Structure 1
């Protein structure tokens, strides 16, 4: 039986390679039917803001990768309610609709559910 993996994405989309690498890992895991979840925490919640202009910062847009998650079987998607609130990110208007909004206690329980956890 495959071990489950939770990837915690904590970087803003344009602050470095971490956000892209997190999405690449999750997509690869999904392609191989690995039980995988993705939690957007801290500045990682900025990845979920719709209609970002990647060209303005000379980067590749991450929105296509986000939209591909369900096609790769990645359905366990989570966002930290506290991180979103602290950064003024409204959870009702994000690029992904099927996100579970979790508080701190719920995140601790979520981490315990997975065999392995990677933070980027």
Structure 2
């Protein structure tokens, strides 16, 4: 199965980013392909490094982003408007560099996905 992960929630809203990471790991171990990770709305906060989520008992997505390469996830897309509304940048030193797209381009890519898991 080919999966796409749509992360809409920030790491402090609830466990969406932690669940996304666990889903990626489990899906890859089961032989499924992760076609991409889309960060949208508050999901763009997953790009911020140095977030301390330990007190919440969850793993921050950014802490795991470098490991996406190990799970053959090469495509991370970020909504440009979501970044701008939150005064964030896509800059990261992780091996998987997010590609910033406008909402129309993200919607166009979503149409071509087999299965989308929204968190």
TM-score by length of 1: 0.84
- 1:67 is matched with 66
- 2:110 is matched with 111
- Unmatched runs of 5 consecutive residues or more in structure 2: none
Of 25-34 and 9-18, the range deviating more from structure 2: 25-34
Q: How does 1:49-64 map to 2 (within 5 A)?
A: 49-55=48-54, 57-62=55-60, 63-64=62-63
**Regions of 4+ moved over 6 Å:** none
- 1:22 is matched with 20
- 2:4 is matched with 6
- Unmatched runs of 5 consecutive residues or more in structure 1: none
- Kindly report the root-mean-square deviation, in angstroms, between the aligned alpha carbons of the 2 structures: 1.8
TM-score by length of 2: 0.84
- 2:100 is matched with 101
Q: What does the per-residue CA deviation read over 1:18-53, in whole Å, with 9 as the maximum and x for residues that have no partner?
A: 111011112222334422111111001111101123
Aligned length in residues: 116
CA distance in 2, matches of 1:95, 1:26: 21
